[in-house]
Structure 1
Amino acid sequence: MTIALSGVLAPASARSLKEVLQSRQLRVCIVPVNSASVIVKPKDCREQCEFSGPVYEEVQAFVRNLGPGIRLKSIRIEWDEQFYDKTGRTDIEGSYTPQLLASGACDIYPSRITKNAWRLKKMDFVTLFPNRMMVVANVSRKAQLKSPADLAGLSAAVDRNTSYHSWLLEQNHGPYAAKPVKITVLKTEDSLRAVDGGKVDFTILDSDIAIWDTRYLLKHTYVAFPIGAMDEIGWAFRKDDKDLQAAAARFFAQQKQDERSELNQIWVRHHGLSLNRFITLVNSTQ
C-alpha cells in the first residue's frame, strides 16, 4: 500500500514555525471524521476541496492568530493516513514520524485526535479539550445497557486504529474474553448509520461527537454511558516542531480565557455550548 497523495507529497522535508511564517502558508491535513467536526465537498476530493465545520473554523482562527497574510492550505485525508510510515502502513508499535508530517505535506493534524501511548511514539500533541469516550447504542438496548460490563457479547462498529477500536480490542482480550464484542470495522459515519439502523448494537464516540450526533443527526440512538479513563484530544504535530506546538498552545490558552472568544463562539454555533462549558461538562463525568 502506498500513500495516494501524488501531488501532495512534493515538499521534501518538514517545516519549522519560522519556515511556515516565511512561506506565509500553513498546511493542514484534515480528516472528515463526522459531520459534527468537519464536512468536505466533493466527498472524494483530495486537494481541491471545500471544507466547513468547527474543525476547519478552528484552524482558520489559528491561522489568523499567526499573523496577517498567512494562507491556509487544507488537504483531505483518511483517518489512518495520519499514522502511515514511508511504506504507507500504520505500525502501531513503531516509533517514527508519520510520512505526511515528515515530508512537509502537513504541518498539523487538527482533526481532534486522541492522545494515547502508541501515537506518542510518532507525534506530539497540544490538547484542545479533555474527553471521555461514550457508548452510543441503539434504543432497543436501552433497558439492557447499564454499565460497560453489559457490552460483552454484543456487536459494535468502529473505525480502524481509532481510540474506540483500541479500547474494544483491549476489552476483548480482557474482561470480555469469554464473550467478546463482535467488531465490524467501518468509517465513523457508517458506524453511526449501522447503529441507528439496528445492524449493530453500539458504537463508541468521543464526547463532542456523541453529543452532536444524538442531538442533531440520529433518530434511534442514545448516549448510554462513558467508558475508559479521561483522555485528551487535540492537534498533532511532528515532535521536532516545538515552536509550532507552543504557538498552538498559546492560542488555545488565550481563547479559553474569554467566553466570547472566537474559539468559544465556534463551539456555540456548532455544538450548542461554548468550549469552556463543554470542558466543564466533560470534567463532571470523572
Structure 2
Amino acid sequence: MERQMRFFACFLGLAMAAGSALGRSLVEIKDSQELRICVAGSSADYYRTNGEDFARYLGVQAKTVTLSQWDQQFHNAQGVTVQGDRYEAAPLATGKCDLYPNDLHITEWRKQKMTLVPYFTTRNVVVARPEMRSVLRAEVDLAGRTASVQAGTAYEGWIQGFNAGAGEHSPIVIENAPTAKSMQAVAQRRADFTVIAAESAFHWVRNDLENLDMLFPVGEAISTGWGISFDASDLEHAIQRYFIDSRRMGSNLDLSWRRKYGVSLMEYQLFSASFDDGGKWHRVWMAWGIPGGAAIAGVLLAMLFWATQLRREAARHKLTLKALQQSHDQLTGEAYRRKAVSDLLLELQHANTLAAFARTVLHELARHLPMGQALLVRVNEARAMQAVAHYAGSGASAEQTLSELPTTASMIERCIATGESVLIEAPGTDYLRIQSGLGHCAPSAIYLMPVKHAGCVVAAIELAVTESIRSEHRQLLVDMEPIIAVGIQRFVREEADVALDLTQQDKKVSA
C-alpha cells in the first residue's frame, strides 16, 4: 500500500509539472489583461521600455520583472542552462514570463529553449582603446589578448568559438563582467578589448571617444529578436505585427533606439545593410563561372565587387560620423540650456518684487533667444490678464504695450484659454512691429507660451523674434517654465499675505 501511495504521489507531481510547463498564449494574456515581461542585463531599463510599449500596443497592463542574471532566461526546471539539451526555458514554461524583450541573438542553442521572433540584424564588433587600432586589425590579432565580456552572452560565445578554432594555440583570456564594467575595463587598460553588438557600440563609443573605438566586425551577421514560449504562436504573430508597425521614423521603438544608442532604428537598418553578404556571388562567379578566355570579364567583376565594398564602408563610416555628430550637438545643446537655466536662477535671486522678477526673466530670455520684443502677462484668480513686464516695444509700461494692440491681447487670451503655445509665422505689418531707436520692422514670428503651475495657466509670455523659432529655442523655454511658474506663485502668495496683514491691521485700528 505504501509503495502505491508513493507511486501515486510521484505520478501526481509529474502531472502537475507537465500541466504547468505550458507558456501562456496571447488569448490567455488578454484574458488576464497582464503581459508578464522579464528583462535582464545591463540594458534592462531599455528592454523594459520597449516591452512595456508592446504591452500598450496589445492593450494590456505590463508586469515587469528584472531577472538577477542574464543566463536565467535559459534555465531549465532545475535552474541550470544546458545548451545541448532541448527544453522550454522554465520562466516561459511556468508562465512567470510571457516575453523576453531583451534583443537576444538568435543562435541554434537558444532556439531549442524558446521561440525567437527576429526584428533586426546585427553583427558583433571589437571595441578597444583608440591606440589599439594599429595593433588589432583582424580576428587573428586577438589571439592571446585579454577580453572582458558579460557571461552567457553571444559575445562570450563568439570568443569561446574563436578559442576552439583559430585561437586554439593562443586563446583569448576571458574575464566576465557586466557590459558597463567591461567597457570600463577596456577604457582603463585592464582588458585589451571587448566584443559587443554594433548597435550597442554606437552608445558606448559615442559617450567616451577619448578611450573607446570601434575597430572591426567579427563573426557573421546575426538576427536579433524577442523570446516567447513555444506554445504562443498567436503572441508571435502579434510581435511580428508590432515590429512591422514600428519600422517607421518616429515610432516609439524608433525613438527608443535613438535615446539608447544615439541612432534611430531606421538609421541603424541602413547601417546594417552593410552586413549583407550579397556581394559573395561575385567571388563564386569568379571561382567557378569564368573560363580562362574571359579574363577581362573577371577583372570587371572584381572591380565591381571592390567598388561595392568601398561604397558600403563609406556609407558605414558616414552613418557613424553622423550619429556621433548628432550626439555631440545634442550634448552641446543640453550643456548650453543647463547653463542658461543656471544663469536665470542666479539672476532671479536679486529680484524682490514680481515686476523685478518678470523683468529679469525677459532680460535672460533675450540673452539666449533672437528676441526683439517681449511681454509677460500674469493671470490672476479672476482669470484676468495683468501685464507685469515688457522688453523693448513702444509702450512706456507693460500695461500700455498690452493695450496698444488689441490683436496682441486676443492672442494672449487664446493662449491662456487653451493652455497651448501659439506660433504666428510671418505675421506681417498689421500685427505688431519690433521698435527700437534705429527704427522698426516686422518680426519673423510671434511665439506665445503659457506658463503652467500645477496644471493651471498662471502666466503667458509673448515673444516677437527676429528669426524662426527653432526646436532648441522651444526646449529652452520648456526648461525655464517651471522656474518661472514657481517664482510667480511665490510673489503672488507674498502679495496676498501682505494684503491680508494690512486688512487685519485696518480692522484692529477700526475696532
Deviations 1:209-264 (A, max 9, x none): 111011125741211111100101110111111111110001101111x3222221
- Candidates 8, 20, 27, aligned match of 1:18: 27
Cα distance in structure 2, aligned partners of 1:217 and 1:113: 25
RMSD, matched Cα = 1.6
Cα distance in structure 1, aligned partners of 2:209 and 2:195: 14
Deviations 1:74-125 (A, max 9, x none): 0011200001111111101010011111110000111111000110111111
Residue 106 of structure 2 is aligned to residue 115 of structure 1? yes
Structure 1 segments, 4+ long, off by >3 Å, are none
Larger radius of gyration: 2
Cα distance in structure 2, aligned partners of 1:173 and 1:110: 31
2:182 corresponds to which letter in structure 1? S
1:168 corresponds to which letter in structure 2? I
Cα distance in structure 1, aligned partners of 2:251 and 2:153: 30
Q: Which residue of 1 aligns with 2:90?
A: 99
Q: Which residue of 2 aligns with 1:203?
A: 194
Cα distance in structure 2, aligned partners of 1:208 and 1:38: 15
- Contact 1:157 1:191 (C-alpha < 8 Å) held by counterparts: yes
1:141 deviation in Å? 1.6
Q: Which residue of 1 aligns with 2:467?
A: none
- Could you tell me which runs of 5 or more consecutive residues in structure 2 were left unpaired when the two chains were aligned: 1-18, 277-511
Q: Which residue of 2 aligns with 1:269?
A: 259
Q: Which residue of 2 aligns with 1:60?
A: 52
Q: Which residue of 1 aligns with 2:361?
A: none
Structure number with the bigger relative contact order (C-alpha 8 A, sep ≥ 6) is: 1
1:28 corresponds to which letter in structure 2? I
Q: Which has the higher helix share?
A: 2
Cα distance in structure 1, aligned partners of 2:23 and 2:128: 41
Q: Which residue of 2 aligns with 1:124?
A: 115
Cα distance in structure 2, aligned partners of 1:209 and 1:252: 19
Cα distance in structure 2, aligned partners of 1:170 and 1:108: 28
Cα distance in structure 2, aligned partners of 1:272 and 1:137: 19
Deviations 1:118-148 (A, max 9, x none): 1011111111210010111123422101111
- Cα separation, partners in 2 of 1:89 and 1:65, compared to 1, 3 Å: same
- Candidates 202, 210, 214, aligned match of 2:205: 214
- Cα separation, partners in 2 of 1:213 and 1:64, compared to 1, 3 Å: same
Q: TM-score, normalised by structure 2?
A: 0.48
Cα distance in structure 2, aligned partners of 1:269 and 1:194: 24
1:14 corresponds to which letter in structure 2? G
- Contact 1:133 1:207 (C-alpha < 8 Å) held by counterparts: yes
- Contact 2:24 2:98 (C-alpha < 8 Å) held by counterparts: yes
- Contact 1:196 1:218 (C-alpha < 8 Å) held by counterparts: no
1:57 deviation in Å? 2.1
- Could you tell me which runs of 5 or more consecutive residues in structure 1 were left unpaired when the two chains were aligned: 1-10, 40-52
Q: TM-score, normalised by structure 1?
A: 0.85
Q: Percent identity?
A: 32
What count of residue pairs does the alignment treat as equivalent?
256
SS of 1:122's equivalent in the other structure is coil
